[in-house]
Structure 1
Amino acid sequence: MTFVEAFLLIFVARHVVCADYGREMRATRMSVVDFWKNETMGDGLNIRVAHGVNSWPDLVDQLHEPFLNKSMMIEGDVFLQAHRRPRHRAIPVMRADTKMADRITFKEWLREVAIMKKAIKINFRSNEVVRPVLQDLYASQADPSSPILQYPVILHANVFRSPRSIEPEVDPNTFVERAKSLFPDATLSLGWTKQADFSHLNPKYKRLTWRQLLHILEYIAKLDQPVMLSVRLSVASQSKEQLLWLLGMDKSVSLLIWSDKEDKILDWEPIIELRRSTTKNRILYDLEAQHRKILQTVANEPIENAPSFSLSQWRAVEFDSASAMVSTVVRSEKGPAFLGEPTALLLSQIPPPKYPATQSIEGKVHFLPKAMAEDVNVDENSGMSIFLMDKVQELDSPKIRDALQVFVGYDGRVKIENAELKSMPYYESKSVGQLPLSECYSFKVTDKGWRVIADVWTIDCDGKEKRKKRHLKLELDTPFQKGRSLRNVVVTKSGDGAIDFLLDELRHSSAPFLPSLALITAFMVIIRGVPDDKRDLVCCTHHGVESNCELLQIAHN
């Protein structure tokens, strides 16, 4: 290599490093929730949004707006302007109700709004405009001559199709993946397409279902950047539980609740509870004046709700999947959700107790078949599995072998199976039962060390017990583990990716051994005549198990 070639190589390398360093230093990775914390006094109801700032006159108005009505976010709509002549490249322009000569390009718009010290929201109105706009944003971060984007940038697209839609949806895969690769510093905002005659729509379409929630998770589960969900006020009022689940996720997720004149709210209690159950600035409101006035007049003291799932007590472990399907476990304070192929595990962080203490795992499982499940043969082993295993350090794949399994299938099949009993023929290897088909089941698994008990029963998915409650109880004797310790708890998915499920109120707890009065009396008789230095030996070897000698000794004294 000559001196000139070496010099050019070093120059190019320094140029690349400096470009990446500049982009890193000029990142806008900040959610609007954090950005507006001070300006809104911690209340998302206090934001002001400037809609449809798509022309030069609109930009001038933003520069001279009254202080009391000053907006905190500028919103623009961008689409691709095609030319009649093939040699002219289509460019992103802002959608404005003006003559063609007055169109403002996206680059011009971005240059002007970048100096206004406000959050920027860019609405993508077609699939074709996604890539060129993101390339312009990427270039704006790397170009030293461009205005510095020091404030949050929100990239919004209506990626979910609504009933009676009057616009095409933007492909969610294209939007999310390209935003993730070209401009990962932005907040991604996902919404639903505009509708015709919303007020006359069937009420069943004015809510977010659990299946739709899992569909949303397929796109945001593995995103590192902040995510915002744009939800209509009428839909939010019918989807309180689903939205609280999203807000309880262990990642930066926020809501933008918006309304127009077609929103007729008869019961404000769910919206008020949403507002009071979360940190107030986690939900932003872009409402009509009459709707904003109602929320401003009601009490908004925070409600302290204990989480039904402890994020600190369960650790997620994920393995790579060869399938293109999104396969993971998503954790929320309301419970975990298992998606796709069974490649993710939840490991309890509670150490297994020593015998004769017991441990239990209980909760509710809500099975949600994917749309494709209607056209394929679902694996009969699809369902939820709780594994009780000796050493979790040996996990090197999602397929668990040589462990005791408690299985609750989507079709109501329940079983306890011990794969460790290869050399112990005097133990039963499994216990199997069948419940009626139900979307939701409650369960409680009790591990006594020498026996495992599974109680499973049918419930309504809203938490109420069915009138004809069907209950199943299975038991299976099992040998002790080494050291007389009970097993570690692992929760996972079984079968294939056609059946997803949510777990609600998942808890793992252990109960200490409390000897009965009869047992204490019997041991007191045994040790009464034994010398003090021999009492521990007698106590700990009685029945060949480790009993709670300290409690018996205290009772004797």
Structure 2
Amino acid sequence: MMGGAHLVASGIKRRLIIIIMKFEISISDYGREMRATRMSVVDFWKNETKGDGLNVRVAHGVNSWPDLVDQLHEPFLNKSMMIEGDVFMQAHRRPRHRAVPVMKADTKIADRITFKEWLREVATMHKAIKINFRSNEVVRPVLQDLYANQADPTSPVLQYPVILHANVFRSPRSVENEVDPLTFVEKAKTLFPDATLSLGWTKQSNFSHLHPKFKKLNWRQLFHILEYISRLDQPVMLSVRLSVAAHSKEQLLWLLGMDQSISLLLWSDSDDHITNWTPIIELRRSTTKNRILYDLDPKHRKFLQTESNDPIVTPPTFSLQDWQAVEFSSSGSQLSTVVRSEKGPAFLGEPTALLLSKIAPPKFPSEQKVSGKVHFLPKKGVESVDLDDNSGVSIYLMDKVQDIDSPKIKNSLEVFIGFDGRIKITNGELKNAPYYETKAIGQLPDSDCYGFEVTDSGWRVQLDAWTAECGEQKGRSRRTVTIELDTPFQKSRNLRNVVVSKKGDSAVDFLLEELQHSGASSVMFSSILLLLMIYFL
């Protein structure tokens, strides 16, 4: 009996231990969930800034004990909204001393503050926190400290937004090493997904003497940025120099129009000389102005404060609600997808993604149109490589989109615009109608951008394509080429569903600007009369 009682007691004890462990784990998970700071600084400051990021005040380089004390006693009218600290790995001469993250204080200060100490102090100041990562080595230990802080019920609660910033893109004439973007983004996503991720460019020497071409963000660079941010669920901030933003308005507006939480931090110093303020003012007055924060030199801030910030309402050139993205898996390591923005979708990498129009096709004798502008962007370094002649944008007109099971669509009517100016319309379903022509082809002059309009009348498809200007490119003469092809009627008398896809290989990406699908255009009276005449003959 004694042995049996002992076994029963042992079993109860083991079960109690298991229950207690499960309870502790659930409490830990619950605490982490309740202590999360998943909020972008833009949303957090919406009331304090009155919808204008120019009202943000940042405390730079708060890296020492005296700096922290100053933050506690700063005047109310000059009170900062965000505390910024720079963290790096402390090197020790003696190998037995383990390197720890510390704040980058003045060399005259002998007692450096560790990151853990810094975090404990700033967590009680009720401000947003910006942590600048200055090396690859510091990424993992700092993120581990942040993870542990959120999971530990005894640590100060990080109730306010946390921004994790790293200069991950290398600038011309850089004076510092960039932080590896893949390491930074992946570790942050895994260890501290509640933060806002901030990406920037390395510091430069003699910025004012740089060639103007290095003072802008082009589309190819923007696509490179998308490789790191397009898959993130957490808020993302891009830190951009004011001079660069002045020459990159279209690219920045495209980023702000993405269907995810993207914001900008525009900063400047005495080396920024702005000769044309119009793009900056238009950025500020855009409908997304509350998603742009400013950390400016006093002279630049003063100028913007004198300018009107009344909103400019510009309708989107691409309806996110009217197009559905469908993605298939890719065997390659590069990003292969379609990234959507209110300024138009971008097709990147291998042709593994489709855009399906949600607009129901009209019934015959109505017609439908698909129009837009395609901007082709061959990847850097592929000019000397033989590009796939089939690389371009394809617009499929399909009877049933439910039958799509891969990105390679067959047996469908296809309208194609190639990067080299080749255009064609192909009848993909002619098994029961051999008397129709299989295709119509044409050729446009070489250009990086082409405008197009596809008209589907049910019995005929017409493509109008022309050379178009790219961005600030001016003075190019427009030349239009028109091709058409008679097509079989649909049995349902409905016109076809619209699907847009990338074709070819990964060497050529493209941006579709002003992509629109009008699904119920009226037909002219003469066309209806012609149909009636055909019917009675």
Asked whether the equivalents of residues 237 and 263 of structure 2 are also in contact (C-alpha less than 8 Å), the reply is yes
* Structure 1 segments unaligned to the other structure (5+ residues): 527-540, 545-557
1:27 pairs, out of 24, 36, 39, with 36
User: 2: CA distance between counterparts of 1:194 and 1:130?
Assistant: 19
Identity %, equivalent residues: 71
- Equivalence for 2:371: 362
2:425 pairs, out of 393, 410, 416, with 416
- 1:465–1:57 Cα change, 3 Å: closer
SS at match of 2:260: coil
- 1:225–1:473 Cα change, 3 Å: same
- Equivalence for 1:111: 120
- Equivalence for 1:405: 414
Alignment of 1:191-230 (within 5 A): 191-230=200-239
**1:29-72 CA distance string (max 9 Å, x none):** 00000111111122111111000000000000000001110000
Deviation at 1:7, TM superposition (A): 3.9
User: 1: CA distance between counterparts of 2:342 and 2:138?
Assistant: 37
User: 1: CA distance between counterparts of 2:524 and 2:422?
Assistant: 36
TM-score by length of structure 2 reads 0.94
2:271 pairs, out of 245, 262, 266, with 262
**1:306-360 CA distance string (max 9 Å, x none):** 1111111111111222211111111111111111111111111110011111111
Residues 1:542 and 2:535 aligned together: yes
Asked whether the equivalents of residues 458 and 465 of structure 1 are also in contact (C-alpha less than 8 Å), the reply is no
User: 2: CA distance between counterparts of 1:304 and 1:233?
Assistant: 23
SS at match of 1:433: strand
Deviation at 1:521, TM superposition (A): 11
SS at match of 1:332: coil
Residues 1:452 and 2:445 aligned together: no
User: 1: CA distance between counterparts of 2:519 and 2:432?
Assistant: 29
Asked whether the equivalents of residues 256 and 288 of structure 2 are also in contact (C-alpha less than 8 Å), the reply is no
- Equivalence for 2:106: 97
- Equivalence for 1:281: 290
- Equivalence for 1:45: 54
2:394 pairs, out of 385, 410, 413, with 385
SS at match of 1:140: helix
- Equivalence for 1:549: none
SS at match of 1:231: strand
Deviation at 1:217, TM superposition (A): 1.1
- 1:543–1:211 Cα change, 3 Å: farther
Residues 1:55 and 2:48 aligned together: no
Deviation at 1:146, TM superposition (A): 0.7
Deviation at 1:435, TM superposition (A): 2.0
Deviation at 1:543, TM superposition (A): 5.7
Asked whether the equivalents of residues 314 and 346 of structure 1 are also in contact (C-alpha less than 8 Å), the reply is yes
Alignment of 1:5-154 (within 5 A): 5-99=14-108, 101-154=110-163
User: 2: CA distance between counterparts of 1:522 and 1:35?
Assistant: 61
User: 1: CA distance between counterparts of 2:49 and 2:526?
Assistant: 62
1:478 pairs, out of 463, 466, 487, with 487
Deviation at 1:396, TM superposition (A): 2.1
Deviates more, 1:51-60 or 1:270-279: 270-279
Deviation at 1:473, TM superposition (A): 1.6
Deviation at 1:5, TM superposition (A): 4.3
SS at match of 1:54: coil
Alignment of 1:524-543 (within 5 A): 542=535
TM-score by length of structure 1 reads 0.91
- 1:518–1:216 Cα change, 3 Å: closer
Residues 1:293 and 2:302 aligned together: yes
- Equivalence for 2:191: 182
Residues 1:316 and 2:325 aligned together: yes
- 1:323–1:427 Cα change, 3 Å: same
Match of 1:313, as an amino acid? D
User: 2: CA distance between counterparts of 1:263 and 1:34?
Assistant: 28
**1:83-136 CA distance string (max 9 Å, x none):** 222232211000001357411000000000000000000000011111110010
- Equivalence for 1:534: none
- Equivalence for 1:555: none
Asked whether the equivalents of residues 79 and 93 of structure 1 are also in contact (C-alpha less than 8 Å), the reply is yes
Deviation at 1:16, TM superposition (A): 2.5
For the aligned residue pairs, the C-alpha RMSD in angstroms reads 2.0
SS at match of 2:145: helix
SS at match of 1:121: strand
User: 1: CA distance between counterparts of 2:404 and 2:362?
Assistant: 21
Asked whether the equivalents of residues 356 and 512 of structure 1 are also in contact (C-alpha less than 8 Å), the reply is no
- 1:389–1:126 Cα change, 3 Å: same
Residues 1:166 and 2:186 aligned together: no
Write out the 4+ residue segments of structure 1 that deviate beyond 6 Å after TM superposition.
Answer: none
* Structure 2 segments unaligned to the other structure (5+ residues): 1-9
Deviation at 1:137, TM superposition (A): 0.5
Deviation at 1:467, TM superposition (A): 4.1
Asked whether the equivalents of residues 372 and 498 of structure 1 are also in contact (C-alpha less than 8 Å), the reply is no
